[in-house]
Amino acid sequence: MNTTELVEQSVKAMDDKRAENIAVLDVRGISLIADYFLICHGNSEKQVEAIARTLKDVALEQNISIKRLEGLDHSRWVLVDLGDVIIHVFHKDERSYYNLEKLWGDAPNIDVTKMLS
């Protein structure tokens, strides 16, 4: 599976768990740690945990190694590191506080509606 397919599968998995405001930032050439940042939020700790666990399951089903999975103990900000794709699953309150979209504001935002159609 290439990186673009991984992004699409991850976006669909987040959408299946009713993740809100899914954003895909193309950080190629801007960040040395990844090619894409995916950001979404849930409205409760249980929803954040469900989104993160689904992303983990999708990666394992596709034989993609999970470099790091952090934050499940509190489920306020869960980081799922899949190498070229890093996914941030926030609780709604934390997302607005950390505002990663503004921090990486110079990264092009990819339209996810095409991935979900």
Per-residue pLDDT tens over the stretch 65-104: 999 999 999 999 999 999 999 999 999 999 999 998 888 8
| Structural domains of the chain sorted by starting position, each given as residue range(s) with its CATH number in brackets | 3-116 (3.30.460.10)
Q: Could you read off the pLDDT of 31-72 as tens digits, one per residue?
A: 889 999 999 999 999 999 999 999 999 999 999 999 999 999
Q: How buried is 94 (Cβ within 10 angstroms: 0-12 exposed, 13-18 middle, 19+ buried)?
A: middle
Residue 1 has pLDDT above 90, yes or no: no
Buried b (16+ CB within 10 A) or exposed e, 45-56: eebbbbbbbbbb
Backbone angles phi, psi at 68, to 5 degrees: -160, 140
Distance separating alpha carbons of residues 49 and 46, to the nearest angstrom:
5
- What is the gyration radius of the CA atoms in the chain, in angstroms? 13
